[in-house]
Amino acid sequence: MTREEVEGGRDEMEIDGCEQREANAIPEGFDANYLKIYYGKLFPHADIYKWMSYGNDGKHPGCDQSYFGRREFSFTLENDIYLRFQSFYGAYELENSIRENCPVKIDIGPVYSVDPAKRRAYAQTGDNVFTPVERELIFDIDITDYDDVRYCCSGADVCFACWPLMTIAIKVIDTSLRDDFGFNHILWVYSGRRGVHCWVCDGKARRLTNEQRGAIADYFRVYKGNENSHKKVSLTGHALHPFLARSYTEVLRNFFELKLLPSQNLFSTEERYEKILDMIHDESVKSELRGKWQENRRSTSKEDINVIRWEQLKILLQSGKQKGQGLRRGIEEIVFSYTYPRLDMEVSKHMNHLLKAPFCVHPKTGYCPLLNNSQYGLPSATLYILAFIFQLCTIGTLGVYPLKVALFSISSVLGHVCVPIDPKKCEEFDPTTVPTLSKLLQELNMEGAKSEVENDWDKTSLGKSIRFFRTSFLQPLLKSCKEEIESSYKTKLQHSKNSINW
């Protein structure tokens, strides 16, 4: 089935989707079944609905009842079937559709001028009215974009040594969004495997034009290099912009010197320190340092070699006997190159970019190095056998007991839940302990008998994340949405009154 057909109309789509899935349920079944339980018992449908309604689900006459229904959701089903332009009238419909379709991934798009599911009908009317009108300001930061400055991992892998790069990104961007741009309702989410997403949800952020989004993204951009020019960061001018200066002194410098310098061994080999020397313009400084470092290779000092060399480089550049300013700026350029956040600009610049919803489960990846070393890892043969047992058990009804048998073993196949990250405590966030689908189901299973808790997720380690989402993000957001709706309704009334008087 091609995507084109899928886009056709919603009713047919759902039917098509189901047929596809059922036909394939046996060979790849266990995955979908796990997700089914997750969406049935744990996924916070109501919270997502509340969030995406931005207060418009209330009874106040200023509420825009069509608001939630104009939001695009997009589902990725098993077998790579994409359902784009899904829309729902209410919480119940959203939840039902998610449970029925059991998507391996849910993406959230913009709010359109008209119900996206009916866009074809509107297109017939001639006026091109199907256009995005609101969208959170979003940022996508991906560890793969840092491959030239980390030596511990590459590609989609992350570890303790390189995750601080993401911590830096959260700190720098979050502070600026709040202090510079004056935004308050910001949600950071672990993207499930290799980075972080940021949702800025203030009313004025949602109504930014593409040009204004582009301006903010550019404000954050210092990284000008591409693969074919080695200059990565170019800081010109006699001073740093206040935003860069603050980022440097409050975040970048410390992270560079205390974390990345030793953990990434930035000066430990000739190849690595040459890369840093490349960023210095002065040949005499370069050769002086090079000479020192080649000799001192056999030194047995207890101090970290990276720290020693960095201090030597700093002293030489700061000494001032060289050409002053330009060279001192060199230190900053090196630190920026190795630490400053690298945003995927395109995601932020356009309203119609889709972004994975929080609390999604990262689709199975087959190979997940994060977990390979963890306690959950089991040889793959065992895995297949257990998966097979599980399938046999679930062909009939979803019994609780057989579930338990298979559960503990498959965590290296199933991914992580995209949980929110508290920017105030982002140093404490550890991507390796993020709940995985199987861990959650296991917890659910263990606690199954206890019924005193109101929500199933309270029995699991997801509870903490959902509570954080509610208290730190959703409640303050909805409060200000309500105020905004009330005040704009008042002005509207005032206006209409005035025009009548006139």
Partner 1 sequence: MESARSHRKSIANDVVSTLPLYRSAPALEVRLEDFTLFAMDRLRVLKGISDGLSRGKKTEEMEQLAKDLWRANMRHPQASEVVNKDIISHFVLRLVYCRTEDLRKWFLPMETALFRYRFRHETAEAQRSLMAEFDLSYKAVSNSEFESVKDKLCQVARSIGMSLPTADAIFYKVPFEEVPELVAGRRVFIHKGHAYVASTQVVSLVATQFRSHLSKALILTNRKWTSTIREQEKDRLAPIVEALCTSYLGPDYSQPKGFSEISLKDIDDLVKSSFPLCMRHLFEKLREDHHLKHGGRMQLGLFLKGVGLKLDDAIAFWKAEFSQKVGAERFDKEYAYSIRHNYGREGKRTDYSPYSCQKIISSTPGAGDHHGCPYRHFSEENLRAALNKMGVDGRAVENVMDKVQNRHYQLACTLTFEAVHNSSCDSGINHPNQYFSDSQKILQSKDGKGISTLGNKKRVPLLFP
345 makes contact with partner 1 (CB under 8 A): yes
Site string for partner 1, 140-169 (x = CB under 8 A): ----xxxxx---------------------
Of 243, 376, 408, 468, the one binding partner 1 (CB under 8 A) is 243
Task: Give the closest residue to 204 by CA, choosing from 186, 225, 227.
Answer: 186
Element at 339 (helix H, strand E): helix 325-339
Q: Which stretch binds partner 1 (CB under 8 A): 177-185, 395-403, 426-434, 462-470?
A: 177-185
242 makes contact with partner 1 (CB under 8 A): yes
Site string for partner 1, 395-434 (x = CB under 8 A): ----------------------------------------
Residue 140 is among the residues annotated as catalytic for this protein = yes
Which residues are CB-contacts of 178 (< 8 A; sequence separation ≥ 6)?
Answer: 184, 186
Strand boundaries in 148-246, DSSP class E: 186-190, 195-200
Residue 72 is among the residues annotated as catalytic for this protein = yes
Residue closer to partner 1 by CB (options 184, 294) is 184
Of 156, 159, 240, 308, the one binding partner 1 (CB under 8 A) is 240
| Cα distance between residue 165 and residue 340, in whole Å | 8
244 makes contact with partner 1 (CB under 8 A): yes
Of 231, 424, 479, 495, the one binding partner 1 (CB under 8 A) is 231
Find the catalytic residue in 78, 115, 140, 456: 140
Token pair belonging to 390: 């599980």
| Cα distance between residue 53 and residue 55, in whole Å | 5
Residue 199 pairs with which residues in a beta bridge?
138, 187
Of 50, 194, 197, 342, the one binding partner 1 (CB under 8 A) is 342
Site string for partner 1, 54-83 (x = CB under 8 A): --------------------------x---
Task: Give the closest residue to 160 by CA, choosing from 150, 149, 170, 175.
Answer: 150
- For every residue of 306-317, DSSP letters joined together read HHHHHHHHHHHH
Query: How many chain residues interact with partner 1 (CB under 8 A)?
Result: 46
Of 8, 182, 291, 476, the one binding partner 1 (CB under 8 A) is 182
Residue closer to partner 1 by CB (options 90, 203) is 203
Which residues are CB-contacts of 281 (< 8 A; sequence separation ≥ 6)?
Answer: 326, 327, 330
Residue 304 is among the residues annotated as catalytic for this protein = no
219 makes contact with partner 1 (CB under 8 A): yes
Residue closer to partner 1 by CB (options 147, 427) is 147
Token pair belonging to 345: 């600009």
Residue closer to partner 1 by CB (options 225, 324) is 225
Nearest distance from C-beta of residue 279 to partner 1, angstroms: 12
DSSP H helical ranges for 221-280 = 242-247, 253-254, 261-263, 270-277
225 makes contact with partner 1 (CB under 8 A): yes
CB 141 within 8 A of CB 166: yes
Q: Which stretch binds partner 1 (CB under 8 A): 233-241, 256-264, 377-385, 390-398?
A: 233-241
Q: Which stretch binds partner 1 (CB under 8 A): 34-42, 219-227, 327-335, 406-414?
A: 219-227
CB 162 within 8 A of CB 321: no
What is the torsional sign of CA 398, 404, 405, 409?
positive
12 makes contact with partner 1 (CB under 8 A): no
Q: Which stretch binds partner 1 (CB under 8 A): 201-209, 309-317, 327-335, 442-450?
A: 201-209
CB 355 within 8 A of CB 138: yes
303 makes contact with partner 1 (CB under 8 A): no
Long-range contacts from 309-314, C-beta under 8 angstroms, 24+ separation: 309/267, 309/273, 310/257, 310/261, 310/266, 310/267, 313/276, 313/289
5 makes contact with partner 1 (CB under 8 A): no
| Cα distance between residue 135 and residue 45, in whole Å | 20
| Cα distance between residue 212 and residue 349, in whole Å | 8
Find the catalytic residue in 78, 134, 136, 142: 142
| Cα distance between residue 98 and residue 189, in whole Å | 20
Q: 54 in helix, strand or coil?
A: coil
Q: Which stretch binds partner 1 (CB under 8 A): 67-75, 207-215, 370-378, 401-409?
A: 207-215
Of 46, 121, 133, 239, the one binding partner 1 (CB under 8 A) is 239
Which residues form the catalytic set? 72, 140, 142
Binding region for partner 1 (CB under 8 A): 3-4, 80, 144-148, 179-183, 204, 208-209, 211-212, 214-216, 218-219, 221, 223-232, 237-245, 342, 345-346
